Structure 1
Amino acid sequence: MTDSAAPTVPSLHNAQPQNPQRHAPLLHAVADWVDEGARWIVIDGLGASGKTTLADQLVAHVDGLAVVHLDDFTRPGAVGWERERFTAQVWAPLQAGQAARYQRHHWTSPEPTDWVDLPAARAVLVEGIGASEPPKGVAWDRFIWLAAPESVRSERAALRDPGRFGCWSQNWRPTEQEWFDRTEPWRGADLVWVTA
């Protein structure tokens, strides 16, 4: 299966992530999950599907929701995100009802950057590629798969970071596509949201 195929999953919707009014049903769904007691909500999707944009809008519209960007848990040359560090610095303290603190790392820089403080929020939104595969001993309450056609994702990636588009299109995109084809992560989603 390719990422342009339409998966058969619960709650398939269409919206533009740049326009909150066009995905009001998703905002309401997440708010309802939080009201029902969901503590950990994840957004996963292939590169340039709109995960960060959507996460930031959800945090702006859903009371008591904090966000963790998994790009902060990556390192140059490494594949995937640092699950053990996430567990120790984010999951464990927040699960215990305490504030959490971690230092941003990014795959483009060997040195860490600023610190991020997370309040003991009533719910946490975790977004990033591979977010649907939690660390050992960690369980998510809700999972959103964010999908977009490859042509849309390529256009977004080229506009977002033209200097690194070659790296993304030749290295990251094939790796992500292989993972997608092999694991079909969207099958485990509580909700699939298609941006196009």
Structure 2
Amino acid sequence: MRSERTDADLLAESVLAAPPRLGPVRMLAIDGPSGAGKSTLARDVVRVLRECGVAVTLVSTDDFATWDVPVAWWPRLLAGVLEPLAAGRPGSYRRMDWTGPAPELGQWVRVPVPDVLVLEGVSAGRASVRHRLSVLCWVSGPPPAERLERAVARDGESAGPRLREWQRFEHGWYAVDRTAHNADRTIGLVHPDEEG
């Protein structure tokens, strides 16, 4: 690792030090609300792990979720990716295509059996998968208004109303799921409305 250690370095070290719980695979879940910086952190962790010679695969919950189905898509991830990897077999799934007027199932993505699976996105560290995780990282990011501003800048002004609805959904989801409370590592300050 580099002399100036980043959050990505520390997360990479944590997951490599933890036992595999998804069959032969170590799984790192990077969870937190929209606009918190999860995707950037996940890409940085993947880069650090690859620099260390670790076989790593990144899967984003954005490849599964839609505005209308924010978390109920989980059986697709379980059957297509997690169960095969746990058995030491490659997995696959169809990525949501967001380029049209409404998201729809798009291209197939193959998931080889890695040393580390990084699962990134809203609900990646949900209660039903925690027993399979080597490390759960919670990324809180800035306060909700700033996260909304970031998400609108990323997705476009027309997505603003849907992103506001999404934030309300996330607030309820995290209060029930208690993701931040169960995290092994937290990046950023946990805001009182995220603690559940």
Q: What is the Cα deviation at residue 79 of structure 1?
A: 3.3
Q: After TM superposition, give the deviation of residue 105 of structure 1 in Å.
A: 2.0
In structure 1, the gaps of 5 or more residues are: 1-19
Counterpart residue identity of residue 30, structure 1 = A
Q: Distance in 2 between matches of 1:115 and 1:32?
A: 31
What is the match of residue 64 of structure 2? Answer: 73
Q: CA deviation at 1:182?
A: 4.0
Residue 46 of structure 1: how far off its partner (Å): 0.7
1:26-175 to structure 2, matched below 5 A, reads: 26-38=8-20, 39-62=26-49, 63-105=54-96, 109-135=102-128, 139-148=132-141, 149-161=143-155, 162-169=157-164, 171-175=165-169
Q: Which amino acid is 1:133 matched to?
A: R
Task: For CA contacts below 8 A with separation 6 or more, give which structure has more relative contact order.
Answer: 1
Consecutive unaligned residues in structure 2, runs of 5 or more:
21-25, 190-196
> Identity of aligned pairs, percent?
26
Aligned residues: 175
How does the TM-score come out when normalised to structure 1? Answer: 0.77
Q: Which amino acid aligns with 1:49?
A: A
**Inter-CA distance 32–145: structure 2 relative to 1 (3 Å threshold):** closer
State the alpha-carbon separation in 1 of the partners of residues 67 and 162 from structure 2.
13
Deviations 1:65-107 (A, max 9, x none): 2111011112452231412111111011111212211110257
TM-score (norm: length of structure 2): 0.77
Distance apart, 1:163 and its partner CA: 1.9
1:15-66: CA deviation from partner (whole Å, max 9, x where unpaired): xxxxx99861442332342244341110110111111111111111113221
C-alpha separation in 2, matches of 1:121 and 1:68: 12
Hey, what does 1:190 align to over in structure 2?
A: 184
